[in-house]
Amino acid sequence: MSTFFYERTPFDILVRNFFQDGSKFSPLLETKIPHPVDIYTNEKGLFFEVACTGISKEDLEIQTQDNTLRINYDKSKDAACCEVDNCDYIHKGIAKRSFNLGWKIDSKFALNKANAQFKDGLLIVEIPFAKGSELKTLKIS
């Protein structure tokens, strides 16, 4: 009689836990859809691009405190469903829901010198590098 031995790898455990109730992993259908945001760096600093389709720049609120950046939009409760009264959506693909986003910003960026612009339905927040945070190459002695 032969004995079947199955060695479990971390991948096997990950896949097994994905389908179990009460595990750290949840199926995609149960997760909350995040607001579309691109975050990137270049030679100028750190950039956030937040999709704001159908939102005016006056309705956006941007706050900085200590090392935290917050971007907030509160959709008014009494907003009409569309430009025309009594509309019935056939398909609703443009997300005009409220959001409250926040990030901790590393000290290598000067959050107090951040600026924002609104262009073509895209909120762009630029946070420049802080002085003294340039890349340094050390020689090994």
Give the domain ranges of the chain. 29-77+96-132
The band of 8, judged by pLDDT with boundaries at 50, 70 and 90, is low
Reported as a single tens digit per residue, the pLDDT across 63-107 is: 998 889 999 998 875 455 555 567 787 887 776 788 899 999 988
Per-residue pLDDT, 27: 45
The CATH architecture assigned to 29-77+96-132 reads Sandwich (2.60)
**Which residue did the predictor score with more confidence, 88 or 123?**
123
CB atoms < 10 A from the CB of 52, how many? 21
**Structure token digits, residue 72:** 């907030």
**Structure token digits, residue 68:** 């935290």
Read off the pTM: 0.64
Reported as a single tens digit per residue, the pLDDT across 14-45 is: 555 555 555 444 444 444 557 889 999 999 99
Per-residue pLDDT, 42: 92
Is 126 a residue whose pLDDT tops 60?
Answer: yes
Q: Which of 109, 103, 105, 119 is nearest to 60 (CA)?
A: 119
